[in-house]
Structure 1
């Protein structure tokens, strides 16, 4: 993916531009297809002062706002479908500042700076706001600080909003969100507004902890040529506009950093804040019904169930998930993955008799040699139909309806996550007993269509997956809540039949009926099912309590 860089030069911050460009070229590898645009915002750039074959100069006929300037670079970036990296000119770049911003995910990433971390080297100390003269002569000290930082800070930190002084906005994000709102005035809160809009479309905003720059801060505005009166007027304009658009409470939280409002938010939404599900919070606490909220992203979900012959819990599986799926596809094989072919007409008959008031259910018959092949067929069908997520449902996996709704809401608020894994409550013999402690295996329950591929049974290829917190949703797994005959048939035909422990059916499955204290119960990996204990009836999902 090419990168389009943009930087803005202004008269008040003119002396910072050469140092920003010098460090940029020193620590940034421009690849074929990349572009760097320097915007002369007010005609103050001296001719020839930035001569470079790797730089294109844009001269504004009249000074533009922050939003207007980033929008014109966004247009340039969009022409080549490039990711957008927008930069202040009062920055000193350090080694490896860029790579952490380029995650390959549809998220907005920002560098961190001396406003986030306090460092010192020898007698030199970083302050939140600094002048160029305080840096000159300490170039080596900054590199030492950057090296110290790189050795100790890694990963991403999710934030609700942050200033966009060194920001990467992928093409997928800005091509959907569109331009920055130019109604905030000269500069202020348009980045906070863009952050909230991003969350409402399922994208995220993160600080890239590995990316460190020195940011002098405010050199084009309040620490530059602005008078106190001009700063006050600019602040008033963007605060009033933000409040008009998002309401008083979000203004206090996202713009003013009001500690009382932040404390109230933490008390009222602890779970959603913990997992970074910001979109539902924004929708709930905004006092305004603006376009961004009205157009919040609602993904299309298609359930895929691969099956040969399994009717034991199928009605309950469908009843729990049906309201939340746009389509329900059953891929019915004409042969089991292992073992001999046997009659599966009862399964086909049950599928034909299922209530389907909304016309969601489709039964597709075929022959697949492996589980992996069959599951990938389901992904391909969903992809052709414009479905966003595949809900992976086996014929013995049941969800509490409210929990499933919460899971899908979580996924919609984090669409940059390519796959979600689920914790299991695994039942033994019947819904009256469950495995304790819960098995550690977390199968994929939700996968991004077009981005995920099954590579081994239910395991998928994307590296970026997250686990659904237990308090949000769990899967009630009834694979071994069956009759003796059903289990005997299951272990002869499922995809793990070649890994079956010798004598498991007689010694463990039947043996447990005589000795409930029997341990190490799993048919393939015995210790995965340590023991079976009673499951309280009120802990069952509604469809199992009927």
Structure 2
């Protein structure tokens, strides 16, 4: 069995509907697949839900953060011995996204590339008038819905060109879990997300580092490219903006206390200057010995791998 799980909030319902439409259009599901939609705040009217006959709806009694929502999905995946695909609701699924991630090895947590990592522009031109009629600029998130609407053909052209040009797996220290495949093997070894981070973030990078401590890996499935609007149920929503600064301060403190200054700088601050100061660490990264790299920086710290 394969489990797909997505979380929706009242501030991002229009994105949820678009994500579901593109998911069922572009995903060739096996017969024993399950799609779970988690209604985080009781805002979904099931009668308006696209493809509702294919969806198992879970309504939370109280709103939960990323970790807690992901963990209830992990519970289901562990019971059924399933791979888990945990999905943001502010994405557009594209051709072959699932087939590419599905082919990743069982010890690798993988995600697609998106407009956060690769920026594309596609245009439709009027040749006779020598002018651009419409254009889609896949800029980094946050990305507005009205910049995309009516331009699905542009995105399809971008994806087709991307999949011809880009192949393979790109091992990295960490990835944002906007659309992540966590294989059953990894779930059994690493377990759940650390809920100490609260609702602000940081738990995905924490999970990546724990994977490396368990001798699993993290990679971009580079041929897969998706559009990610970004933060539509977190920092971009009006009801969350005022609380996000406090949440970010909290999860940063949790991460720093757990992993230490060097890994904090590398992940949270994207500061890789340690590689210039310590050539032995740079050599590990250059050789994709990322598990050794993480273990060296963790040192004598007691970090629990399986939660």
What is the TM-score with the length of structure 1 in the denominator?
A: 0.52
Aligned pairs for 1:157-168 within 5 A: 157-168=170-181
RMSD: 1.6
Aligned pairs for 1:367-446 within 5 A: none
The aligned residue for residue 157 of structure 2 is: 144
> Which shows bigger deviation, 216-225 or 197-206?
216-225
Q: SS of the counterpart of 1:238?
A: helix
- In the TM superposition, structure 1's runs of 4+ consecutive aligned residues that sit over 6 Å from their partners are none
Asked if residue 184 in structure 1 is aligned to residue 184 in structure 2, the reply is no
Q: SS of the counterpart of 1:174?
A: helix
Asked if residue 99 in structure 1 is aligned to residue 99 in structure 2, the reply is yes
Aligned CA distance change for structure 1 residues 52 and 228 (closer, same or farther; 3 Å)? closer
1: CA distance between counterparts of 2:94 and 2:283?
37
Gaps (5+ residues) in structure 1?
A: 296-546
Question: Over residues 28-56 of structure 1, what are the superposed CA-to-partner deviations in whole Å (9 max), with x where a residue is unaligned?
Answer: 11212110000000111123122522110
Query: Highest Rg: 1 or 2?
Result: 1
Instruction: Report how far residue 227 of structure 1 moved.
Output: 5.3
2: CA distance between counterparts of 1:197 and 1:22?
34
Gaps (5+ residues) in structure 2?
A: 124-134
2: CA distance between counterparts of 1:178 and 1:237?
23
Residue from 234, 241, 258 that aligns with 1:221: 234
> Which shows bigger deviation, 115-124 or 208-217?
115-124
Asked if residue 119 in structure 1 is aligned to residue 120 in structure 2, the reply is yes
The aligned residue for residue 5 of structure 2 is: 6
1: CA distance between counterparts of 2:234 and 2:88?
12
What is the TM-score with the length of structure 2 in the denominator?
A: 0.91
Q: SS of the counterpart of 1:12?
A: helix
Equivalent residues of 1:249, 1:287 under 8 A apart: no
Equivalent residues of 2:106, 2:186 under 8 A apart: no
Equivalent residues of 1:159, 1:206 under 8 A apart: yes
Q: SS of the counterpart of 1:292?
A: coil
Q: SS of the counterpart of 2:199?
A: coil
Q: SS of the counterpart of 1:63?
A: coil
Aligned pairs for 1:29-68 within 5 A: 29-50=28-49, 51-68=51-68
Instruction: Report how far residue 288 of structure 1 moved.
Output: 6.2
Equivalent residues of 1:67, 1:187 under 8 A apart: no
Instruction: Report how far residue 226 of structure 1 moved.
Output: 4.6
Q: SS of the counterpart of 1:285?
A: helix
Aligned pairs for 1:468-479 within 5 A: none
Q: SS of the counterpart of 1:162?
A: coil
Asked if residue 282 in structure 1 is aligned to residue 294 in structure 2, the reply is yes
The alignment covers a number of residue pairs equal to 292
1: CA distance between counterparts of 2:300 and 2:245?
25
Asked if residue 270 in structure 1 is aligned to residue 287 in structure 2, the reply is no
Compare relative contact order (CA 8 Å, sep 6+) and give the higher one, 1 or 2. 2
